[in-house]
Chain A
């Protein structure tokens, strides 16, 4: 949680209804024209061309389902709300929803059906996140995330997550509960190195597979070093980008794009009532009321970079870009993500060395 006064000036607009934008636009139009929202076609989920453009990026961001604190859910470890502790979980849910949409859309394109409809989001994506449905019905519910988090890293309800820890947990949650989209896979690369063979394996094993790639990093002790700004921009403007799980100090945000040296983010820090199903009323609670803008310099140092590849061609594009970022890097613009064919097992036999002159010899 963050104190009110610390918030950016720019988000004073945040609370104004921006109903002309994104999901809500389609929804309102469909209601106004008295047609079934199922008929309203969802805007194609392709990355905007004007990356460094605030308006374009904000409009783009508004198409991403909005996940927030909820209250009134079935008790998890004594909590009926995640207010004050669940923001990083909600940020991860936004990324999951967004990449699942891209995955779903790609599958539809392959079977040559119509474009993505609001009804598809309502029927196929959002129910995966309902708070009160656990187990396989709602694989990415906060219930499942907490349960797996407790098993995997000992973080129960009420405990704070970081971009790194939540990435590990959603990967396991996807493996254990996601029966609806078995072609949706998650890989995390914790050393800052992407191993091509792991991604290729996922994408070639089944041509329908999609792969969400998460690279959690810490970019400084107190502040993000300026030498990484260019790389953050490059990552966010890549066609495979699925944003960054990040935020400001102790305040998680889903970073989707940038303009100048500011990040365009979706903010989960609004408390809404829990909903038990997705209908026309509850759908509107998943529609963002506007983006939050933060400066690169205020951003938290822990960031998880996310990419989504729908096919081997996407992966090749990503590999080429990462290699290019590496070769273009210099002292003022250092690269963040490395790439390798496969993981190398280091065999250093000396973990405990003898002590000589008060030094441990490794």
Chain B
């Protein structure tokens, strides 16, 4: 994600515009694990996802992609805040939380542990 944001804002803006135009039913997101996370990384961090996809559904797809079992903790954050209600569509999440560059940034993380 660092790499991605290091690209000039104008370039990122035109990238998002381009894909939004080309795929009107999808939204562009960047998804990656928090830098403190010990979870597996995603192979790719740039996705175009259906606007109608539910948050819970999206979370399940990512869980599968990083091969994380159902019993393992996995939490998603947008703008440092917990991902909105599980019933929201990704379109709603995008509309409310997208970056000025036109991408939606989603971070994932496991639980904290104590001894």
- List residues of chain A with CB under 8 Å of any chain B CB: 1, 84-88, 152-153, 160-165, 168, 190-193, 216-222, 225, 227, 247, 249-252, 300-302, 334-335, 338, 346, 348, 351, 353, 355-362
A222 to B57, CA, bound (A): 25
Q: 8 Å CB contacts to A: which residues of B47-97?
A: 47-50, 53-54, 56-57, 59-61, 64-65, 69-73, 75, 77, 80-82, 85-87
A351 to chain B, nearest CB (A): 6
B75 to chain A, nearest CB (A): 4
> Is B101 engaged at the interface, CB distance under 8 Å to the other chain?
no
A85 to B115, CA, bound (A): 4
* Chain B interface category by residue count: 35 or more
In the A-B complex, list the 9 residue pairs whose CB atoms are closest, starting with the nearest: A164-B73, A218-B75, A162-B111, A252-B114, A160-B113, A164-B111, A162-B113, A302-B112, A160-B115
A-B contact count (CB 8 A): 126
**A362 and B82 form a contact (CB under 8 A):** no
**A87 and B114 form a contact (CB under 8 A):** yes
A residues near B80, Cβ cutoff 8 Å? 220-222, 225
**A359 and B86 form a contact (CB under 8 A):** no
- In-complex Cβ contact of A360 among B46, B59, B60 (8 A): B46
Q: Which residue of B lies closest to A358 (CB)?
A: B46
A313 to B103, CA, bound (A): 46
Given contacts A348-B57, A348-B61, contact A362 B115 (CB under 8 A): no
B residues near A348, Cβ cutoff 8 Å? 53, 57, 60-61
18 additional A-B pairs beyond A221-B34, A250-B115, A348-B61, beta carbons within 8 Å, are A161-B113, A162-B111, A191-B86, A218-B73, A219-B82, A227-B81, A249-B112, A252-B115, A300-B114, A334-B82, A346-B54, A348-B57, A348-B60, A351-B61, A351-B65, A359-B46, A360-B48, A362-B53
Write 24 A-B pairs (CB below 8 A) sorted by A numbering.
Answer: A1-B115, A87-B114, A160-B115, A162-B73, A165-B72, A165-B73, A220-B77, A220-B80, A221-B80, A222-B80, A225-B81, A301-B112, A335-B85, A338-B85, A338-B86, A338-B87, A346-B54, A346-B57, A351-B65, A359-B19, A359-B47, A359-B48, A360-B46, A361-B47
A346 to B89, CA, bound (A): 13
- List residues of chain B with CB under 8 Å of any chain A CB: 18-19, 22-23, 26, 28, 34, 44, 46-50, 53-54, 56-57, 59-61, 64-65, 69-73, 75, 77, 80-82, 85-87, 107, 109-115
**A161 and B71 form a contact (CB under 8 A):** no
A268 to chain B, nearest CB (A): 10
Given contacts A160-B114, A346-B57, A348-B61, contact A152 B48 (CB under 8 A): no
Interface SS, B side: mixed
**A88 and B71 form a contact (CB under 8 A):** no
